[in-house]
A = this chain, B = another copy of it.
């Protein structure tokens, strides 16, 4: 998606260690006009797939899911990062490893809000190693929900998570794929 790539080049910040920060427009402050175009792009990619629910994970996926759901006219469900070990039997859970914080956490969805009737499009802001996405896919599997595919704003291609899931047959559509960051410059795939 050219609009997103241009915005990344204009306003993305590259920190030490080649980390791209997009907090000025995507996941802390949010440009809602851009977000609406992102939602429209995911709609164009998946409009013929019978999607009846948009899924994401808190927190930064929620704006993307909301603006995508608006184009589809379907509800959102967002997975929660569990604060408690006492989750009860009313939720689907999956254990996820966070490399950012170097710890495991559980993601959960209430069983009533994800069922075998659902045809799900999963969206998120970033995909790196794909660990959070694997957790969401596992929750859909447990619920018996059909995953139509995945929509990612920015895929860090060099971390391999997207390609590993593609190799397993998951449809992953990324609006911008970073191939590498070279001398402080972003090179898209």
User: Residues of A at under 8 Å CB distance from B?
Assistant: 23-25, 28-33, 35-36, 58-59, 62-63, 65-67, 69-70, 73-78, 80, 83, 101, 109-110, 112-113
Contact = CB atoms under 8 A, between A and B. Distances in A.
Give the number of copies in the complex: 2
A62 B112 CA distance: 22
Given A30-B66, A59-B78, 16 more contacts: A23-B110, A23-B113, A24-B113, A28-B77, A28-B110, A29-B75, A30-B76, A31-B75, A32-B70, A62-B66, A63-B63, A63-B65, A63-B66, A66-B67, A67-B70, A83-B101
Contacts of A58: 58-59
Contacts of A67: 66, 70
